[in-house]
């Protein structure tokens, strides 16, 4: 396959990692596109918005799209649990407890977003998301120490505090995330210590 035939999808943008990669790849002549999660640059992460990282935002907007699902566990959950979570989100939204809610993520919606791309690079919940459509990342890198949605401390605390049913769902998503990471063709990690040990435990180089 020639470089001109490649269409690269960059999933997620915490720390503006993939926006930086978007500009680099497009400068090299690759057809790269940034696929923002619904909550990227929002909900307390506004400092990671696109316009916080460039003075020429209009130049890059044609290559950026926002996906209809968030970087959160429910996006990778089985449809039944995702639907129940969406109903809960609507109720909490009406009560003023949370700012927005998300529709349950179907496999059809996932395929619509990711099928156009020949190469997928990502972080966040991306490995578990792609497991739902039997696809894997070409490159995965964690943004969180000890790997987000797997062994990161904040995620383990979320599991510990959850109800019995919610805890079971979170553990299923944790397992799906592990399988998605194992399926990635290339895994990049700059974090020694516990993060590296988790990759060793997963038999991931």
Q: CA–CA separation, 107 vs 120, rounded Å?
A: 17
Strand 7-11 to strand 186-187: parallel, antiparallel, or no bridges (unpaired)? unpaired
Which of 77, 98, 96, 92 lies closest to 168, judged by CA?
77
What pTM, to 2 d.p., does this model score? 0.89
Strand 7-11 to strand 119-122: parallel, antiparallel, or no bridges (unpaired)? parallel
Strand 64-66 to strand 119-122: parallel, antiparallel, or no bridges (unpaired)? unpaired
Which residues are registered as beta bridge partners of 124?
none
Each of the 205 residues of the chain gets a pLDDT tens digit; together they read: 556 679 999 999 988 899 999 999 999 999 999 999 998 888 777 887 888 888 898 999 999 999 999 899 988 988 777 777 666 666 666 777 666 666 678 889 899 999 999 999 999 999 999 999 999 999 999 999 999 999 999 999 999 998 888 899 899 999 999 999 999 999 999 988 999 999 999 999 9
Which of 109, 103, 168 lies closest to 133, judged by CA?
109
Q: ∠ at Cα 1 (25, 27), nearest 5°? A: 15
């Amino acid at each position: 396959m020639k470089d001109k035939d490649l269409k690269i999808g960059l999933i997620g943008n915490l720390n503006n990692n993939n926006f930086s990669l978007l500009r680099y790849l497009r400068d090299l002549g690759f057809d790269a596109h940034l696929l923002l999660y619904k909550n990227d640059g929002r909900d307390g992460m506004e400092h990671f918005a696109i316009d916080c990282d460039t003075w020429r935002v209009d130049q890059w907007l044609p290559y950026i799209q926002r996906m209809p699902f968030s970087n959160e566990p429910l996006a990778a959950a089985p449809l039944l649990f995702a639907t129940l979570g969406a109903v809960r989100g609507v109720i909490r939204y009406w009560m003023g407890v949370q700012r927005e809610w998300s529709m349950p993520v179907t496999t059809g919606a996932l395929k619509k977003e990711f099928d156009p791309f020949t190469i997928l690079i990502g972080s966040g919940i991306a490995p578990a998301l792609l497991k739902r459509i039997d696809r894997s990342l070409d490159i995965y890198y964690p943004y969180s120490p000890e790997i987000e949605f797997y062994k990161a401390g904040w995620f383990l605390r979320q599991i510990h505090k959850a109800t019995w049913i919610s805890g079971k769902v979170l553990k299923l998503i944790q397992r799906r995330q592990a399988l998605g990471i194992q399926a990635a063709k290339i895994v990049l990690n700059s974090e020694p210590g516990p993060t590296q040990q988790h990759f060793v435990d997963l038999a991931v180089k």
